[in-house]
Structure 1
Amino acid sequence: MDSFDSLSVSEKAEATELQRLIAVEQQKAQFQAQVHNFTDICWDKCVDSPGSKLDYRTETCLVSCVERFIDTTLAITNRFTQMVQKGAH
Protein backbone atom coordinates (compact mmCIF):
# COMPACT_ATOMS: atom_id res chain seq x y z
CA MET A 1 0.00 0.00 0.00
CA ASP A 2 1.29 3.45 -0.94
CA SER A 3 1.78 5.81 2.02
CA PHE A 4 -0.01 8.56 0.04
CA ASP A 5 -3.21 6.45 0.06
CA SER A 6 -3.28 6.40 3.86
CA LEU A 7 -3.38 10.20 4.17
CA SER A 8 -6.55 12.16 4.87
CA VAL A 9 -8.05 14.38 2.18
CA SER A 10 -6.57 17.53 3.74
CA GLU A 11 -3.15 15.87 4.10
CA LYS A 12 -3.29 14.81 0.45
CA ALA A 13 -4.18 18.38 -0.55
CA GLU A 14 -1.27 19.71 1.50
CA ALA A 15 1.11 17.16 -0.01
CA THR A 16 -0.07 18.01 -3.52
CA GLU A 17 0.37 21.74 -2.86
CA LEU A 18 3.84 21.11 -1.45
CA GLN A 19 4.76 19.14 -4.59
CA ARG A 20 3.49 22.03 -6.73
CA LEU A 21 5.52 24.57 -4.75
CA ILE A 22 8.64 22.42 -5.04
CA ALA A 23 8.15 22.15 -8.81
CA VAL A 24 7.80 25.94 -9.08
CA GLU A 25 10.98 26.47 -7.06
CA GLN A 26 12.82 23.93 -9.24
CA GLN A 27 11.72 25.84 -12.34
CA LYS A 28 12.97 29.09 -10.81
CA ALA A 29 16.32 27.47 -10.01
CA GLN A 30 16.63 26.10 -13.55
CA PHE A 31 15.84 29.55 -14.97
CA GLN A 32 18.48 31.17 -12.75
CA ALA A 33 21.04 28.54 -13.77
CA GLN A 34 20.27 29.23 -17.43
CA VAL A 35 20.69 32.98 -16.90
CA HIS A 36 24.07 32.38 -15.26
CA ASN A 37 25.06 30.13 -18.17
CA PHE A 38 24.09 32.83 -20.70
CA THR A 39 26.01 35.41 -18.73
CA ASP A 40 29.18 33.34 -18.54
CA ILE A 41 29.23 32.31 -22.19
CA CYS A 42 28.20 35.67 -23.62
CA TRP A 43 30.53 37.60 -21.32
CA ASP A 44 33.49 35.48 -22.42
CA LYS A 45 32.50 35.87 -26.07
CA CYS A 46 31.74 39.60 -26.11
CA VAL A 47 33.67 41.45 -23.41
CA ASP A 48 37.33 42.04 -24.18
CA SER A 49 38.20 44.25 -21.23
CA PRO A 50 35.56 45.42 -18.76
CA GLY A 51 35.25 49.14 -18.20
CA SER A 52 32.89 51.45 -16.40
CA LYS A 53 30.43 51.33 -19.34
CA LEU A 54 29.68 48.92 -22.18
CA ASP A 55 30.47 50.27 -25.61
CA TYR A 56 27.94 49.87 -28.42
CA ARG A 57 29.73 46.89 -30.00
CA THR A 58 29.91 44.99 -26.72
CA GLU A 59 26.30 45.71 -25.84
CA THR A 60 25.13 44.62 -29.30
CA CYS A 61 27.20 41.44 -29.04
CA LEU A 62 25.76 40.60 -25.62
CA VAL A 63 22.18 41.16 -26.76
CA SER A 64 22.67 39.08 -29.92
CA CYS A 65 24.39 36.30 -27.97
CA VAL A 66 21.58 35.99 -25.42
CA GLU A 67 18.90 36.21 -28.12
CA ARG A 68 20.55 33.34 -30.02
CA PHE A 69 20.59 31.22 -26.86
CA ILE A 70 16.94 32.01 -26.15
CA ASP A 71 15.90 31.25 -29.74
CA THR A 72 17.82 27.98 -29.69
CA THR A 73 16.38 26.96 -26.32
CA LEU A 74 12.83 27.72 -27.50
CA ALA A 75 13.35 25.78 -30.74
CA ILE A 76 14.66 22.74 -28.86
CA THR A 77 11.85 22.95 -26.30
CA ASN A 78 9.20 23.24 -29.01
CA ARG A 79 10.68 20.31 -30.94
CA PHE A 80 10.80 18.18 -27.80
CA THR A 81 7.16 19.07 -27.04
CA GLN A 82 6.15 18.03 -30.55
CA MET A 83 7.96 14.72 -30.18
CA VAL A 84 6.28 14.03 -26.83
CA GLN A 85 2.83 14.90 -28.23
CA LYS A 86 3.35 12.62 -31.23
CA GLY A 87 4.44 9.82 -28.93
CA ALA A 88 1.32 10.27 -26.79
CA HIS A 89 -1.02 9.74 -29.72
Structure 2
Amino acid sequence: MSAPQQQTGAEQLDLATQRELATFIEQEQTKAKLQATIHDMTSMCWDKCVTSSIGARFSKSEGTCLLNCVDRFLDTSKYLVKHLEERRG
Protein backbone atom coordinates (compact mmCIF):
# COMPACT_ATOMS: atom_id res chain seq x y z
CA MET A 1 0.00 0.00 0.00
CA SER A 2 1.35 3.42 -0.84
CA ALA A 3 1.38 6.34 1.56
CA PRO A 4 -1.21 9.05 0.96
CA GLN A 5 0.11 12.00 -1.02
CA GLN A 6 0.57 15.18 0.90
CA GLN A 7 -1.08 18.29 -0.44
CA THR A 8 1.12 21.32 -0.83
CA GLY A 9 0.63 25.03 -1.39
CA ALA A 10 -2.79 26.35 -2.31
CA GLU A 11 -4.28 22.85 -2.34
CA GLN A 12 -4.14 22.83 1.48
CA LEU A 13 -6.21 26.01 1.78
CA ASP A 14 -9.98 26.01 1.87
CA LEU A 15 -11.89 27.91 -0.81
CA ALA A 16 -12.52 31.00 1.34
CA THR A 17 -8.83 31.27 2.21
CA GLN A 18 -7.84 30.82 -1.43
CA ARG A 19 -10.18 33.66 -2.42
CA GLU A 20 -8.85 35.86 0.38
CA LEU A 21 -5.29 35.17 -0.72
CA ALA A 22 -6.14 35.90 -4.36
CA THR A 23 -7.74 39.21 -3.35
CA PHE A 24 -4.71 40.14 -1.27
CA ILE A 25 -2.33 39.35 -4.13
CA GLU A 26 -4.45 41.38 -6.55
CA GLN A 27 -4.44 44.36 -4.16
CA GLU A 28 -0.67 44.16 -3.74
CA GLN A 29 -0.20 44.01 -7.51
CA THR A 30 -2.42 47.07 -7.90
CA LYS A 31 -0.35 48.92 -5.28
CA ALA A 32 2.86 47.99 -7.10
CA LYS A 33 1.46 49.24 -10.41
CA LEU A 34 0.39 52.51 -8.80
CA GLN A 35 3.83 52.98 -7.25
CA ALA A 36 5.47 52.30 -10.62
CA THR A 37 3.17 54.82 -12.30
CA ILE A 38 3.98 57.46 -9.68
CA HIS A 39 7.70 56.77 -10.13
CA ASP A 40 7.41 57.11 -13.92
CA MET A 41 5.41 60.34 -13.59
CA THR A 42 7.91 61.78 -11.13
CA SER A 43 10.86 60.97 -13.37
CA MET A 44 9.18 62.28 -16.50
CA CYS A 45 8.03 65.56 -14.93
CA TRP A 46 11.34 66.08 -13.12
CA ASP A 47 13.37 65.60 -16.30
CA LYS A 48 11.07 67.92 -18.23
CA CYS A 49 10.66 70.71 -15.68
CA VAL A 50 13.69 70.94 -13.40
CA THR A 51 16.29 72.68 -15.53
CA SER A 52 18.42 74.54 -13.00
CA SER A 53 20.52 73.43 -10.07
CA ILE A 54 18.56 72.11 -7.13
CA GLY A 55 18.13 74.64 -4.36
CA ALA A 56 15.85 75.07 -1.39
CA ARG A 57 12.91 75.85 -3.69
CA PHE A 58 11.86 75.43 -7.28
CA SER A 59 11.80 78.48 -9.50
CA LYS A 60 8.34 79.81 -10.34
CA SER A 61 8.52 78.38 -13.86
CA GLU A 62 9.68 74.98 -12.57
CA GLY A 63 6.87 74.85 -10.02
CA THR A 64 4.28 75.76 -12.64
CA CYS A 65 5.72 73.22 -15.07
CA LEU A 66 5.65 70.45 -12.44
CA LEU A 67 2.02 71.19 -11.53
CA ASN A 68 0.96 71.24 -15.19
CA CYS A 69 2.93 68.09 -15.96
CA VAL A 70 1.30 66.16 -13.13
CA ASP A 71 -2.15 67.47 -14.06
CA ARG A 72 -1.72 66.43 -17.71
CA PHE A 73 -0.40 63.03 -16.68
CA LEU A 74 -3.43 62.45 -14.44
CA ASP A 75 -5.84 63.74 -17.10
CA THR A 76 -4.33 61.39 -19.66
CA SER A 77 -4.48 58.44 -17.26
CA LYS A 78 -8.16 59.12 -16.49
CA TYR A 79 -8.95 59.42 -20.19
CA LEU A 80 -7.22 56.15 -21.01
CA VAL A 81 -8.98 54.27 -18.20
CA LYS A 82 -12.36 55.66 -19.28
CA HIS A 83 -11.67 54.81 -22.93
CA LEU A 84 -10.63 51.24 -22.08
CA GLU A 85 -13.72 50.75 -19.88
CA GLU A 86 -15.95 51.94 -22.73
CA ARG A 87 -14.30 49.51 -25.14
CA ARG A 88 -14.89 46.62 -22.72
CA GLY A 89 -18.54 47.49 -22.13
Q: State the number of aligned residues.
A: 78
- Provide runs of 4+ in structure 1 moved above 2 Å: none
Q: CA deviation at 1:56?
A: 1.8
Residue in 1 that maps onto 2:55? 51
Q: Which residue, 76, 79, 87 being the options, matches 1:83?
A: 87
Q: Decide which structure has the larger Cα Rg and report it.
A: 2
Query: Alpha carbon RMSD of aligned pairs, Å?
Result: 1.5
Q: Give, as a single letter, the amino acid of the residue that structure 1 aligns with 2:16.
A: A
TM-score (norm 2): 0.81
Once the two structures are aligned, what percentage of the paired residues are identical? 37
TM (norm. structure 1) is 0.81
The structure that is helix-richer by fraction is 1
Task: Find the residue that maps to 2:14 and give its secondary structure.
Answer: helix
**Residue 26 of structure 1 corresponds to which residue in structure 2?**
29
Unaligned ranges ≥5, structure 1: 1-6
Within the alignment, does 1:15 sit opposite 2:29 as a pair? no
Contiguous gaps of at least 5 residues in structure 2: 1-10
The Cα of 1:54 is off from its aligned counterpart by 1.1
